[in-house]
Chains A and B, each alone.
Chain A
Amino acid sequence: MNIMNPIVSDPARETFDTRSLLAHAQQQAEDRKYEDFMIIDVDAHHYETDSYRDIWEYIEDPVMRDQFKFTKGATMMQRSTGGYQEMAGRITRYAHRRTEQAPGAVHRDIGLTRKWMDSMGVDVACIFPTPMLGLGLNPVVEVEVQYARAYNKWLTEKILSQDKRLVSMLYLPMNDPEAALKMVEEFSGCRGVIGFLITTVRYKGLYDNAYMKLYRALEERGLPLAFHAATNWGDQSMHITNRFIATHALGFSWFNIVHMTNWVVNGIPERFPGLKSIWIESGLAWIPFLMQRLDNEYMMRSSEAPTLKRLPSDYMREMFYTTQPMEMVNNQTMLQETFKMINAETQLLYSSDYPHWDMDLPSTIYDLPFLNLQQKKNILGENARKLFKLDHYISDEKQARLAARGKA
């Protein structure tokens, strides 16, 4: 035996830094040579509430602006999604991120986001807000409209315009269909706006006639419409769950399941064949379930969905899905079958959901033994690049690794 001189550290005494927390992610990126291809993360987050002092300036209604200011955003965020994602301190980044800084960055949000992107090997990230995922529950329609517009304006002016690596699909205040349409008209074409977003914790059917102008406007512009799930512990069915694991596991699938079902049986894909939809953060296991369930019922009750010309699963197979949180505990056969059923090679888009607690690294896709290299590249970036018509881009850190390999 020999004795070496190691580096010994005490985690309790170290200052939190995302690059340190994700050092193993960076090792994975280097080992797998992610510098050889573009990685696009289609669902990542920031905490817009960290910037509420900036956002309130964009609220047009002076009375509401004051309410927002004096409640530090709490009035705007009235919602009942609830939960304890940080697991009583087990997910350490939740507590530590509040004090983490990004010296030298144009904006703290950009600096913090770039840290995890570079660690994971992500070149371009589509960022979404966090508490706003529950804003659709706000009982005051004007609050959703005013806050959505303020956030979208702040995001496009202060964040997206500052960094070509960051893009977003902007929040639509669906409780006011006319305001949602105006949002598309006002923000389409802004730098980094690659589509629009419906948060699916909401209680208005998305088949309502009032939304048809909105869908037409998106279809005409060639902009995808994304559906981002969340959970709502106050929902009547979720209300009887007594542990967060239950409301989270069910809710994040359920709210996309119900809106997808309405979307299909009301024939929206037939009415707007050019409108591309993306279903975000429900995992993947729900898709084969719903395909089978709807196909079975449709064959018996096609008179209730007369606009459809094909099976519900045929429409679902043409939609896009993000990967996270991918169910991969112990049944790879089912996962492989799921990939086949949804045409993952062209329809699946990698997403990390970072910095949220159930984030997935690119290796969750890269390490799947049943995918060939091209399929991995498609899911990790190429499918999204084509869908959003993005330029090919490799980050500076990854380009440096490429250059170092060339010299070696």
Chain B
Amino acid sequence: MAEIFVCPDSEMKDGEVRIVRQGRTEVGVYRHKGAYFAYRNHCVHQGGPACEGIVKGKVVDLFAEDKTFLGQTYDHDDPHIVCPWHGWEYKLLTGECAPDPKIRLKKHEIVQRDGGVYVVV
């Protein structure tokens, strides 16, 4: 186990990501609503750099009471990490693959101390 320094706590803003590389280890560190999340930068699909893509809210179908379709919207409380190679999506809050929670990005622990953000690998 080792801790890797990511950045001072004040540096990252909500919605930002940093890719931390140490040898062959690559971790994506996200800040969302003041909290940090870290996942291995490796898509389960074909090994793409999952954390180097965009983050987008979960797309939701909207239905009326009678089940008629009303349209679509984003659920920004459920942001998705999107792998830039093929578009595989993972829940930023858990690392679970959006359409299949049995599949997930490898999660890393984040440590905040002395004004710094560290990821444990």
Contacts and interface: CB of A to CB of B under 8 A. Distances in A.
Contacts of B105: none
Interface of A: 1-12, 21, 23-25, 27-28, 87-93, 357-361, 363-364
A11 B24 CA distance: 18
Interface in B1-38: 1-7, 16-22, 24
B16 A7 contact: no
Interface residues on B, range: 20 to 34
B20 A7 contact: yes
A203 B49 CA distance: 41
Highest count of chain A CB atoms <10 Å: which of B2, B17, B87, B120: B87
Nearest to B69: A242
24 contacts: A1-B1, A1-B3, A1-B120, A5-B5, A6-B4, A7-B20, A7-B21, A7-B22, A8-B5, A8-B6, A8-B20, A9-B18, A11-B17, A11-B51, A12-B16, A12-B17, A21-B84, A24-B42, A89-B54, A89-B56, A90-B53, A90-B56, A90-B82, A91-B86
3 A-B pairs closest in CB distance = A92-B84, A6-B22, A7-B21
A349 B49 CA distance: 26
Contact of A93 (B46, B84, B89, B120): B84
B3 A8 contact: no
A1 B1 CA distance: 6
A6 B20 contact: yes
B118 interface: yes
B118 A11 contact: no
A371 B25 CA distance: 29
B19 A3 contact: no
B99 to A, nearest CB: 10
Contacts of A93: 84
B87 A357 contact: yes
A92 B86 contact: no
B46 A10 contact: no
A361 B49 CA distance: 14
B45 to A, nearest CB: 9
B47 interface: yes
A360 B7 CA distance: 35
A24 B51 CA distance: 12
B60 to A, nearest CB: 14
Contact of A4 (B2, B42, B48, B86): B2
A361 B21 CA distance: 23
B62 to A, nearest CB: 15
Contacts of B87: 87, 90-91, 357
Contact of B2 (A1, A8, A88): A1
A24 B19 CA distance: 14
A92 B53 CA distance: 7
Given A2-B3, A90-B82, A358-B86, A8 B47 contact: no
Given A11-B51, A28-B47, 10 more contacts: A1-B2, A4-B2, A7-B20, A8-B6, A8-B7, A8-B19, A24-B48, A90-B89, A91-B87, A358-B86
Contacts of B48: 24
